[in-house]
Amino acid sequence: MQRGTFQLMKSVNKSIILNKIRQSEPISRAQIAKETELTPPTVSSIVKELMGQGIVRESNLGVSQGGRKPTMLLINRDAFHVIGVDAGPESIACILTDLSGKVLDQSASSIKTPITNEQFISIIKENIHTIMQGSAANPDTIMGIGVGMHGVVDVETGTALIAPNLNLRNVPIKVELEKEFNLMVKVENDARTMALGESWFGGHDDVDSMVAVNFGRGVGAGVVIKGKLYHGAQDLAGELGHMTIDINGEICECGNRGCLQTFATGDAIVGRARQEIRDIPDDLTAEEIFCRAQAGNHAYSNVLTETGKIIGVGLTNLIHLVNPGKIVLGGGVMKSEKYLLPAIKQTIDQRALTPDAKRTEVAVTKLGGDSTLLGAVSLLLIELFAPV
């Protein structure tokens, strides 16, 4: 399979078989046919083609069910590679992985503002070049580049329309990276990218629908249904941070009052602490608030608990609207999970409309800061493994 041309092998049946092998390996041809309801000849023919392309390999014989021992199939995870990029707002991080998401190499650079579109793209390119030149992986095995980008993204063109924290507009990420590296490039909003990373690598295989919410300098969310991102009619799905919580609240950066983002970011938590606690230092941070709460200062733990209640209101609204099987929370703010999560769950329990809604699972990510990077990798993997 030539570099960057894996999409040419795309078909519904191939993707179904690839995904079944990925999820259930090692698995026999007969079991694939049984579980996918494809005919055995179809499975055998496609598996033969996939093995010829190097993406599937055979393993040791399986357990006999009364006849010959079946030959088991595995994804050839080392045969191809993907580059994932987490772009902004404070740094550019880049990883190279195999098809299982195993990180083989990584690179990162900080971002200094003010910065131009050209400088921003140049930093991304430098990190990708560093990865490609420093890795033992054959460049011809790299299938593409996925980018999780801060701000509003036009997914079709791969353009960052607005990156508010960097004060950038209309950054042609896809065009520039495809021209530089001659690879397929997928660009997505970072919160949605995080959601896809959670869906693929976070251990949530038992749910058909989930929402991942990132609480950091902003509040963003991604909705994943049956393994695919949901964008909405005008590409606004997931803008949970701009859900109105208090119509008389503070003015948000979007211009509206009382958005969830004005309550649940790190800066918002610091601002609330300044309003409620006397004699606090000028350089107070959300991390310091957590440390003081840990040290037994109830004034600071109360600020975090109150934040959890407000987030719980927003998530209750989300449950009533989308009714996801699971909600996964991430971002720097969730490092205060000890105080936030109990308040979030208690608020949902008090406010959710039905007993089933009250049981919606809410958990903090286990991927830590890697969820967006792994999601960027997933932007390419979904092209390969998910049915068209």
Distances 39 to 24, 29, 34, 45 between C-alpha atoms, Å: 18, 10, 8, 10
pLDDT over threshold 70, residue 64: no
Coil, helix or strand for 296?
A: coil
pLDDT band at residue 135 under the 50/70/90 scheme: confident
Q: Is the pLDDT of residue 5 over 80?
A: no
> Which CATH number does the domain housing residue 127 bear?
3.30.420.40
Statement to judge: residues 178 and 232 lie in one domain: no
Is 352 found in the same domain as 279? yes
Number of domains comprising the chain: 3
Task: Examine residue 284 and state whether it is found in any structural domain, yes or no.
Answer: yes
Residue 1 lies in a domain: no
> What CATH number did the domain enclosing 53 receive?
1.10.10.10
CA 242, CA 232: separation in Å to the nearest integer?
Answer: 15
Band (pLDDT 50/70/90 cuts) for residue 334 is very high
387 pLDDT band (50/70/90 cuts)? low
65/86 same-domain check: no
Query: For residue 8, what pLDDT is reported?
Result: 43
Task: Report, as an integer, the average pLDDT of 284-294.
Answer: 95
The verdict on 229 and 319 lying in the same domain is: yes
Q: Are 153 and 162 in contact (CB under 8 A)?
A: no
Residue 199 lies in a domain: no
Q: Can you give the pLDDT at residue 67?
A: 58
Continuous H helices in 93-157: 117-134
Alpha-carbon separation of residue 151 from 163, 164, 246, 331 (angstroms)? 4, 6, 23, 15
Same domain, 182 and 222: no
247 with 303, same domain?
yes
Same domain, 41 and 96: no
- pLDDT, average across residues 93-117: 94
- 370's CB contacts (< 8 A; 6+ apart) are 103, 197
Q: 184 and 316 share a domain?
A: no
Element (H, E) at 29: helix 29-36
State the pLDDT at residue 207: 83
Question: Among 85-94, 167-176, 232-241, 334-343, whose mean pLDDT is lowest?
Answer: 232-241
Average pLDDT over residues 326-331: 95
**95 and 67 within one domain:** no
d(CA 205, CA 224): 12
Assess whether 128 and 254 both reside in one domain. Answer: no
Per DSSP, the three-state class of 241 is helix
Segment 141-154 mean pLDDT: 93
Indicate whether 233 and 326 sit together in one domain. yes
| Selection from 215, 309, 344, 345 nearest residue 268 by Cα | 215
Beta strand 71-75 with 56-61 is antiparallel
pLDDT band with cut points at 50, 70 and 90 for residue 63: low
* Whole-angstrom distance, CA of residue 225 vs CA of residue 105: 30
The boundaries of the domain holding residue 108 are 81-194+372-385
Instruction: Report the run of H or E that residue 188 belongs to, with start and end.
Output: strand 184-189
